[in-house]
Amino acid sequence: MPSSVLAGTGPVEFGLQYASIVLVWYDWFLMLPMEVKYIWGSKIRISTIVYILCHYALLANVLYVLAISNIHNERSRQVSVLGSHPLLMSMLHSCDTWYKVIGALSVLGRTAIIFSFTARTYAVWGRRRIVIIYLGTLGFICIALDISHIPGLKCIGASPLPIGTYMQVFMNEVFSILVVVFEFSSATLTFVRCIQTLKERNKSPNNEARRRGFWHITFEQGILYFSFMSVFTIGAVVLNFCAPPGFYQRALNSFTLPLSGLLTSRFILHLRKCEDDLSVLGQLTVASANAAADDGILSIVVDQGFGWDPLEVDTTANPDLRRQEREDSIASPTSSTDSCILSTIIDDEDFEWGTVLTVPREEDYPVAAPSSSIHRTV
């Protein structure tokens, strides 16, 4: 196959490839202030590691785009002139090694993206295990198929795996289809949960802060992700089935990975910002702490940085529901002053996730509660 076909040296291809590089760096500079404040200025959590992999694995895509734009032509020209010169073969071997390193970085980025959307969907569905089992299985298969491409990466073209060309083509097709199924499933589950939340909100008055809160961001980012990425992932499936083997068969991968990583890292940043706002307003529900106690190791892996159930947040933020809870606690002879609380999940050096500070409400007592009444419960 000619090197021009492999490298996609047409002006349109070059324009699109370098446009993806500009997009990655422009987004990095645009989001740098939020990244410094909410990522580097806070404690390291699982979501922090996922953010780093999503955002900085894009550098591997930049290197890959530069490689297929320049190295293919130069190396192919040298091969045609010098043949199998030992020095040239050594250079090509080194280039192949770097291609595998770039491929491994890309797999790490895709793994972080899949993990992020699995954790996010699991969190907004109230940590239901059926959700993480379904999406986790799809994501694990996608990651395994993506890893299978690494041994065949080369500077010029791509070599099939030892298992055979037919099986490699089949794995490429399955990988493309499963990625579409995974993204569609995550977006659909998020959309369904959004509809449920909107129905619940319609039953009681809302204020602007709640309308612009966590679920507004989840809805916006979920639909945005599905709308943009579905075009590229479906196109990638079409190319995998219709295009001949080579560069054009995987041309859209230059856009799917950076866009996925870009949107995922932005989503994590906005979740951190919203988490900080809700913590200040005292609207972050204690249901996440209860879920953490029930889920065990899952609560450690899927931390608060991936979101929480919006219906539980609304329950805590709804003054009508909180007033009803206070009335029920007063009517109950076994209830204590801890029943009327402003619940806040905190995360600092002295407390771990799930620690609850209970603050008695002033309007429920004839005399304001002294500051010493604030105590820690586990």
Confidence of residue 140 (pLDDT cuts 50, 70, 90): very high
The full set of domain ranges for the chain reads 3-281, 291-377
271 and 219 Cβ atoms separated by less than 8 Å: no
CB 148 within 8 A of CB 100: no
Pick 276 or 34 by higher pLDDT: 34
Residue 141, pLDDT above cutoff 90: yes
How high is the pLDDT of residue 290?
42
pLDDT in tens, 70-99: 554 554 444 444 444 454 445 455 667 777
Q: What is the mean pLDDT of the chain?
A: 65
pLDDT tens digits, residue range 191-222? Answer: 888 787 777 766 656 555 455 555 565 666 56
pLDDT digits (tens, 9 = 90+) for 243-285: 776 667 667 766 777 888 888 888 888 878 877 776 655 554 4
Give the model's pLDDT for residue 111: 92
Q: With contact defined as beta carbons under 8 Å apart, do 8 and 68 qualify?
A: yes
Q: How confident is the model at residue 137 (pLDDT cuts 50, 70, 90)?
A: very high
Indicate the range of 186-190, 226-230, 236-240 predicted with least confidence.
226-230
pLDDT (average), residues 334-362: 33
Structure tokens at 89: 């073969």
**Amino acid identity at 72:** H
Q: Judge whether residue 187 has pLDDT over 80.
A: yes
Rounded to two decimals, what is the model's pTM?
0.67
pLDDT confidence of residue 228: 73
Burial of 113 per CB tally in 10 Å (0-12, 13-18, 19+): buried
Q: Quick one: angle between helices 86-124 and 72-82, nearest 10? A: 150
Could you tell me which CATH number the domain at 3-281 has?
A: 1.20.1070
pLDDT at 19: 76
pLDDT, average across residues 111-128: 86
pLDDT band of residue 182 (cuts 50, 70, 90) is very high
Task: Please tell me the predicted confidence (pLDDT) of residue 269.
Answer: 86
pLDDT of residue 45: 84
